């Protein structure tokens, strides 16, 4: 089973079956029985889990999301979450501190995934809260290629979803305005009072001057 990439049709054409399932247009080969049926069932399970998790993350990050409901964003996030589930990390009890599939995912772009290039690493404290590491600013335009008028405005959010409890989603939100006149500013750290918990996917995202928005960190457990 795969997404229809250039069409939105239903019906049987040659050896392919085109159909719509839960709002998505999919395609599969005929004769999907036996081992193929098991693979299709597994794929359907992954699609269901990723779609549900995607909806929770989009709801949590709603203050950051650009414009009205965006189906392209939904499909992109669904897809990258499916890829993450396939890594098997969601089954581990170890702490996963850097989920590269999610880090750099853009909310405002239109590509497949990693097209958000703002670099502000996230780490955990000893008590499992979060630290956002804001870099030093020492150039005339520290957020190039974005327009810069003397202030760097950050809108920062963290969303944590318990994969085993659909009602357990925690959200933290804050803003930070950094005035900058070209005089070098040292790197700084921003404490985010949202604890990572076992069984929870925690994602940190931000927008810069309301012009570009995306994920800067993601961790599990």
pLDDT per position as a tens digit, 192-218: 999 999 999 999 999 999 989 999 999
Ranges of H-type helices in 13-157: 35-60, 71-87
Give the whole-angstrom CA distance, residue 151 versus residue 199: 38
Strand, helix or coil for residue 52: helix
Cβ atoms of residues 102 and 203 within 8 Å? yes
Give the whole-angstrom CA distance, residue 50 versus residue 90: 11
What is the rounded radius of gyration, in angstroms, for the C-alpha atoms of the chain?
A: 20
pLDDT per position as a tens digit, 113-162: 557 888 899 999 999 999 999 999 998 888 878 888 899 999 999 999 99
> CB count, 10 Å around CB of 214?
23
DSSP letter assigned to residue 135: P
């Amino acid at each position: 089973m795969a997404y229809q990439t250039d069409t939105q049709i239903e019906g049987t054409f040659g050896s392919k079956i085109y159909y719509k399932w839960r709002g998505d247009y999919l395609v599969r080969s005929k004769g999907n029985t036996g081992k193929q049926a098991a693979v299709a069932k597994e794929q359907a399970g992954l699609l269901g889990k990723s779609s549900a998790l995607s909806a929770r993350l989009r709801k949590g990050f709603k203050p950051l999301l650009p414009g009205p409901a965006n189906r392209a964003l939904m499909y992109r996030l669904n897809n990258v979450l499916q890829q993450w589930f396939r890594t098997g990390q969601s089954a581990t009890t170890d702490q996963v501190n850097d989920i590269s599939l999610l880090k750099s995912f853009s909310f405002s772009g239109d590509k497949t995934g990693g097209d958000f290039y703002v670099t502000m690493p996230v780490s955990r404290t000893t008590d499992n809260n979060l630290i956002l590491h804001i870099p030093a600013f020492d150039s005339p335009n520290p957020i190039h290629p974005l327009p810069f008028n003397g202030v760097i405005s950050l809108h920062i959010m963290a969303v944590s979803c318990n994969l085993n409890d659909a009602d357990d989603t925690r959200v933290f939100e804050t803003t930070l305005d950094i005035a900058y006149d070209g005089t070098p500013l040292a790197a700084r750290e921003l404490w985010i009072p949202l604890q990572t918990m076992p069984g929870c996917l925690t994602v940190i995202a931000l927008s810069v001057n309301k012009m570009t928005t995306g994920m800067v960190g993601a961790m599990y457990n």
